[in-house]
Amino acid sequence: MARGYVKVTPHPVRTGVSNFFSNLGYTKTIGNDAFQGHFLDFGSDIARLWVNTTVGIGGLFDPATRFGLDKHE
């Protein structure tokens, strides 16, 4: 099934889908930052989520990286 998805779905669409789910899952990283007291990372990650959700059209694109907002794990 995965091979069929790769075969019939163009690369930009696959990248957008991956970006969307990565953006959606980033809320866990933000919560983790808050619980661990990493408040600088928390602020940066909130900004990253906001930029990717608004400018990146719901997370389909990743403009936050180009704006210098690093991704944290």
pLDDT tens for 3-56 read 999 999 999 999 999 999 999 999 999 999 999 999 999 999 999 999 999 999
Asked if 70 and 26 touch (Cβ cutoff 8 Å), the reply is no
Q: Domain ranges in the chain? A: 2-66
DSSP assignment letter at 61: S
How distant, in Å, are the alpha carbons of 18, 30, 35, 60, 61 from that of 12? 10, 27, 35, 10, 10
Q: Tell me: pLDDT of 73 over 90.
A: no
